Amino acid sequence: MFAAACAGLLGVAVGPAAAETGRLYDPGDFVAGHPGMDYLALVQLALPTIVLSPDTHMMQGQLPTPVPRHIAGATYEGEPPDPVTLGTIEDKRIMVGGKPRIALLVDLGPDPDRVQGTVLLILMTDERTPKVLDMADVAVDKDTVFADQAVLKLGAGDDALVTWSEHDDADLTMGGYVLISTVGDHLALIGTIRLQSERLCAWSNIETVHFSTTPEPGGPFARITASIHAAFKRTPEQCGENGVPKVRPQTFNATYQWNAQSHAFETRSDALRRLGAFNDIVFNP
């Protein structure tokens, strides 16, 4: 199972535990609303080479050519593992343009050449025989799941998606949320939010995010607000750590709005820059 975001040697938490995000399906589990179809068959619509390997006794295959793009751009791209190994699957049912869709988050195993694993988000029609509409790699760290607020309502017939990636290093947990637009049945990056959390003897800083949407007057889609809270606390303990950062608890609000000209969600907020500056003081004194 994925390393959950409530992890770390000292129980640091910066994101959702996998158990909170919904069920993790195995390839042999049946797909709700599609009698006789299991998740292996559903994944094979996008990745037809995934089959049971007689050598490893695992579900393995190759990514299609060209390799699916990374949602966050060239910084995260690279040569994928060969073969990829099918792991657990998450299934969210969403709406795009007033039509039902299936959003699969498919774990394809670690990547020996990159920090992040290989995790495909596959968007499909939710009809008797589903059809693949789009797919992209969404992993920005070692382990990736749907966030606990995985589906954000943009209107009566449209949803956005949120994933969470993380890794733990001693008493430090680092991770990132990825906000994803599905407008026009195309997966596009809205934004990424990187978090860090640490719990030490003399102090702790636990960072969390709450997402909300607000109708945009005259606009086709709601605006999205990410409220990022850094819960910095000092303890009464006298410890040997290298000082206590001179900061206080803070909340940073980043708002994303639909731009009809660029056909994308954009933000004018400097909240993420200010969050980065805050974390530089806390974690890089």
60 in any annotated domain:
yes
The whole-number pLDDT of residue 111 equals 80
**pLDDT category, 113, cuts 50, 70, 90?**
confident
Range of the domain at 81: 18-283
Share above pLDDT 70 across residues of the chain, in percent, rounded to a whole number? 91
pTM above 0.75, yes or no: yes
**pLDDT category, 239, cuts 50, 70, 90?**
confident
* pLDDT value at 5 more than 60: no
12 in any annotated domain:
no
* pLDDT value at 249 more than 80: yes
* pLDDT value at 203 more than 80: yes
The whole-number pLDDT of residue 110 equals 85
Convert 48-117 into a string of H (helix), E (strand) and C (coil). Answer: CCCEECCCCCCEEECCCCCCCCECCCHHHCCCCCCCEECCCEEEEEEEECCEEEEEEEEECCCCCCCCCC
| Total domains, the chain | 1
What average pLDDT does the segment 232-236 reach? Answer: 89
253 in any annotated domain:
yes
Q: pLDDT digit string (tens) for 24-81?
A: 999 999 999 999 999 999 999 999 999 999 888 899 999 998 999 999 998 888 788 8
7 in any annotated domain:
no
6 in any annotated domain:
no
Report how far residue 157's alpha carbon sits from residue 138's, in angstroms, rounded to the nearest whole number.
Answer: 23
**pLDDT category, 87, cuts 50, 70, 90?**
very high
250 in any annotated domain:
yes
